[in-house]
Structure 1
Amino acid sequence: MRYFTWRTWLLRAQRLWRSSLQVRTVTISVVMSTIAVGIIGAYMSISVGANLFDTRLQDALAASERSNVVAQTRFDATQQTAGLDLDVAMKSATTAVQQAASTPAGTDIAILRTPGQAGVRLPVDVVSPGLDPAVAISEELRDRVEGSADRRLYWQSISLEREDGGVDPALVVGSVLDVPTSGQYELYLVYNLSDTQQALSFVQGTLWLGLSSLVILIGAVTYTVVRLIVAPVRTAAETSERLAAGELEVRIPEKGEDVIATLARSFNGMADSLQRQITKLAALSQVQQRFVSDVSHELRTPLTTIRLASDVLYDQRESFPAATARTTELLHTQVQRFELLLADLLEMSRYDAGAVDMELEPTNLVRLVEDAMQAVETLSASKGTELRLEAPGGYFEAEVDARRIRRILQNLLANAIDHGEGRPIVVYVDSNQTAVAIAVRDYGVGMSTAAMERVFDRFWRADPSRQRSTGGTGLGLAISLEDAALHGGWLEVWSAPGEGSCFRLTLPRRRGETLTESPLELPPVGAAAKEEADV
């Protein structure tokens, strides 16, 4: 559950990042400002810390040098005739060193005799209370001080543990003292740098607080500026969407005289121009649709009279001379074609006007395909074309308008027979839980890629000079495409010159469902297809 929540938030953040210009701009500005401020802050913090340390180190070295001079002076001025005089001198030197090297945070002192010297160990070593020389003074520092041939100062950074368990930074400065008759001693001053550390922490805290406030201020300023810029762009985008949805009256509010106002005026001018053009085209389209519909309706009455007269003449053609009989047959054929053309024009005008209704009912598509094949059986027999049906079984029933689907199938079968060169035509039917598919496959002349791109255009034919047996009007595939779209389905074509063509109709099983895939390949690969390929 935790993993799912994390992925959900990540997906939401990704969608927000892709969809919001304002979020991207503010985020990039804040991130880049944070990086820049972080680099500047780190540099300033390091510089301030190094400067404070260097200042404190120089102070410590100066105090240590004074302390070394004072202590050496005490020892040089002492009458070293007895051990008591050396102890007094040590105490006097220790007091002088404490006064010379005192700091607000405190300074610890250690005067240690250099090991490995002959003679009596007088005076005794002096160590400040609470200071452990073995911990505070490293062997490396003692070796460097012990091997010094002059009064050079040596220093080292250390950490001191407090009584409460904390740790304070410190400096240890060592130098050499010469005690008459006793040999070489080492003077170590331990300077506590807690006050310097507190000052550095205060400066760093103030610095980072100021820089953090600066980043927040930059983010707020960026958000405000981007909002001022993005808000009009978002308004323009929403207005564009509403215009695209058909709300031609919406406009962008025009305020001020700046660039955004100029954009709004230009956009509104474009919208006005588009509205006028769309209104003009819509009116022209309505006039055109009404003209086609009116002409089709008006032609029906005289066409009916002509058809009746041609039927009478056609029935008596055997009593006419040969030339007259042939003319009567041509008249009868063309009147029938003219009647089909009027019916198709009326159907297309209904589609263009959006006045098409469907009568949906659960239908077995295998039975529907069989009916369509029976309707073109006479035509296929005249061409010597064998019709085959391949339906492996499954979810064949679907909610469709049986009349329109039957019309699609008859158009596809008639085209396949006309262009199939007398070879077998295979009709495939298959389905799954969400979709049904019907494919009509022929092995005739086929089409080129350019022809496939125009095959569903109105009044277009792949080969106008080709003799057609069905007397088509050139609107069959265009109407079939509209019928398929009306069901929420697809009508697709595959073809290759010399290999034939295949039209695949895919329909949702229930009204309103969205198609994602077709149960059949294009072209299908079945037993009939393999058998024909082998032939």
Structure 2
Amino acid sequence: MPTTTAAVWRDPRSWPEAAATLWRRSLRFRTITITLLLTTLAIFITSVIMALVIQNNLFESRRDEVLSDALRAVAEAQIRVDSAEVTDDPAGLRALWSDVQDTIPRASSSSRVIAFPIDDTPVGSGVQGFRTDLSADLISPGLRERVVSFPDRQSWQSIAIPMPDGTTAPGIVVGQQLFLPGVGAFEVYIAYDLADSQETLQFVQSTLWAAGFVLIAIVAVISWLVLRLVSKPIIEASETSARLAAGDLDVRLPVHGEDELATLAQSFNAMADSIEAQIKELGELSLVQQRFVSDVSHELRTPLTTIRLAADMLNDQRDQFDATTARTAELLYTQVQRFETLLSDLLEISRYDAGSVQLELEPTSLAELAEDVIEQMRPLAEERGSELRLVAPGAYSPVEMDPRRVRRVLRNLIGNAIEHGERHPIVVTVDSNQYAVAVGVRDFGLGMRPADAERVFDRFWRADPSRQRTIGGTGLGLSIALGDAQLHGGTLAVWSELAVGTNFVLTIPRDHDQREGTSPVPLEPQDAIVDVGPMTQPIQLTELREIYFDARAEDES
């Protein structure tokens, strides 16, 4: 049972196949998909670049602000230290150092401060390092080394600052030296929280992504509208051309406006008018031709009947004539018979052209029918030096067919095989399967080129025009045979190879409305049987060419 569209989209496993089918068949789907993919890629690249630029600018701006703030705080503390009148009194140093501890957090925007003495402080000074809300573990050895090595410069490093809720926030720690007279230099580090900058960056990035998705949706809608406007006339042209190809000659495209699509529609309509006129003219000529052939054939039958009677009388009395007159009477009789056959074939062809042929179906065994035809054709085959062989593993059960027409097809195929079989055996194979019954007629004669095999069913066509017909065919037999096969809903196919032979296969379906399935008789034979000297043996097709040319050379010698 065919799968519906709704069922296809309900099953996720069938989506790739459905999308691939839609991609192949829908210009609108391909265009919208490509547009959306390229637009999405462009917006994604633009958003990433903008997010990175904003992130760098925001970080650099915040870093410069932090460095300036730290420099100002430490400078203010250094100024207070330098302006204080400090002696070697330990109490005064401790008071000054306590003031420095208060000044730095107050002068900066961060309360996270830590200080380390670079050298050992003098004994009894009472001045030690301090820290406020900043762990010494956050200060890396590399940063401390840079601060000690460059006393006149600031050094900074990005860190992760622990928050009270257990999470971490991005931050920057800035380090520089502070000199305390009478004691020595100290490493001072101030850590700054960048959580607010991170929030700002996240807001900007989310805004960019949201704007990107909205822009993609807008582009999709605009693309669909524009494509619908452009593709609708194209779809109409495609559907109209399909109907025109199917035989609806009255169909035309609507013309709107004066743009390129309107010009296309006008050109298409003009082409359709021209095709319709030519087809009608050809149809009228065909009808005239059919009527002419039919009328001529009927008109010739009356005088031909008279001539036939006269030829019969002369042929019956030819023994009373001299040799020349007797031969003339015999030739007249033979050619009148051939002329009568030609008229019959012409009438049959005219019926096919007019579509007035009707089948007379009846249950018939194809194997028995083939056996009867072989027995009828056996004297002619023996006269021509060929042996008729029947291979019938199947096709004995009756099948609905027109026995008169199938018999005519078999006589024609076997007659051609006798004509071109070059005195080699002719194998008739009859078989069947659940779909059809078939018969193959195989000869081992001259064979044909592929180009000739394609034209073998043309009327009055011969592969070798210089070769005369010795059995008396009219040149219409294979064309009529093909028509008989098609009337049964079947096929008549040919395989041929030079110096190997020819194989015709007639296939008739068991059910004329059900034409699917393979033929029980293969078109291209896998092996063959020919006479080699006094013996008969199976050989492969690849050996036939060499055997054929050897036999021809012996005959000529």
Q: Give TM-score scaled by structure 1 length.
A: 0.91
Q: Structure 2: how far apart are the matches of 1:158 and 1:499?
A: 89
Instruction: Report 1:311-390 matches (<5 A).
Output: 311-390=312-391
Q: Structure 1: how far apart are the matches of 2:442 and 2:428?
A: 6
Q: Is the 8 A contact 1:447 1:497 kept in 2?
A: yes
% identical aligned pairs: 49
Matched, 1:494 2:495: yes
What residue is the counterpart of 2:140 in the other structure? 138
What residue is the counterpart of 2:115 in the other structure? 111
What residue is the counterpart of 2:132 in the other structure? 128
Once the two structures are superposed, residues 249-299 of structure 1 have per-residue CA deviations (whole angstroms, 9 ceiling, x without a partner) of 111001111111111111111111111111111111112112222222333
Residues matched between the structures, number: 528
**Deviation, structure 1 residue 476:** 0.3
Q: Structure 2: how far apart are the matches of 1:117 and 1:394?
A: 118
Give the direction of change, closer, same or farther, for the CA distance of 1:495–1:439 in structure 2 (3 Å limit): same
What residue is the counterpart of 1:48 in the other structure? 54
Instruction: Report 1:104-503 matches (<5 A).
Output: 106-114=110-118, 119-120=123-124, 122-129=126-133, 131-134=134-137, 136-145=138-147, 147-393=148-394, 398-503=399-504
Q: Which of 72, 77, 96 lines up with 2:78 in the alignment?
A: 72
Indicate the larger mover: 477-486 or 234-243.
Answer: 477-486
Once the two structures are superposed, residues 166-187 of structure 1 have per-residue CA deviations (whole angstroms, 9 ceiling, x without a partner) of 3321100011122234333221
Instruction: Report 1:7-46 matches (<5 A).
Output: 7-46=13-52
Q: Structure 2: how far apart are the matches of 1:472 and 1:517?
A: 31
Letter in 2 for 1:19: R
Secondary structure in 1 matching 2:149 = coil
Unaligned runs of 5+ in 2: 1-6, 531-536, 552-557
Give the direction of change, closer, same or farther, for the CA distance of 1:425–1:100 in structure 2 (3 Å limit): same
Give the direction of change, closer, same or farther, for the CA distance of 1:215–1:509 in structure 2 (3 Å limit): same
Once the two structures are superposed, residues 51-96 of structure 1 have per-residue CA deviations (whole angstroms, 9 ceiling, x without a partner) of 1111111111111111111122333315354444334323322332
Q: Structure 1: how far apart are the matches of 2:126 and 2:401?
A: 118
**Deviation, structure 1 residue 15:** 0.9
Once the two structures are superposed, residues 418-446 of structure 1 have per-residue CA deviations (whole angstroms, 9 ceiling, x without a partner) of 11222211112233332433221222233
Give the direction of change, closer, same or farther, for the CA distance of 1:527–1:458 in structure 2 (3 Å limit): closer
Q: Structure 2: how far apart are the matches of 1:280 and 1:292?
A: 18
Q: Structure 1: how far apart are the matches of 2:112 and 2:87?
A: 27
Instruction: Report 1:487-526 matches (<5 A).
Output: 487-515=488-516, 517-526=518-527
Q: Is the 8 A contact 2:146 2:155 kept in 1?
A: yes
Q: Structure 2: how far apart are the matches of 1:22 and 1:508?
A: 42
Secondary structure in 2 matching 1:427 = strand
Letter in 1 for 2:28: Q
Q: Structure 2: how far apart are the matches of 1:165 and 1:117?
A: 36
Q: Structure 2: how far apart are the matches of 1:121 and 1:299?
A: 146
Q: Structure 2: how far apart are the matches of 1:174 and 1:515?
A: 87
Q: Is the 8 A contact 1:122 1:182 kept in 2?
A: no
Letter in 2 for 1:79: V
What residue is the counterpart of 2:102 in the other structure? 95
**Deviation, structure 1 residue 395:** 8.2
Give the direction of change, closer, same or farther, for the CA distance of 1:142–1:361 in structure 2 (3 Å limit): farther
**Deviation, structure 1 residue 382:** 1.6
**Deviation, structure 1 residue 388:** 0.8
Q: Is the 8 A contact 1:408 1:480 kept in 2?
A: yes
How well do the aligned residues superpose, as a CA RMSD in angstroms? 2.7
**Deviation, structure 1 residue 126:** 2.8
**Deviation, structure 1 residue 300:** 2.9
Give the direction of change, closer, same or farther, for the CA distance of 1:203–1:523 in structure 2 (3 Å limit): closer
Indicate the larger mover: 337-346 or 205-214.
Answer: 205-214
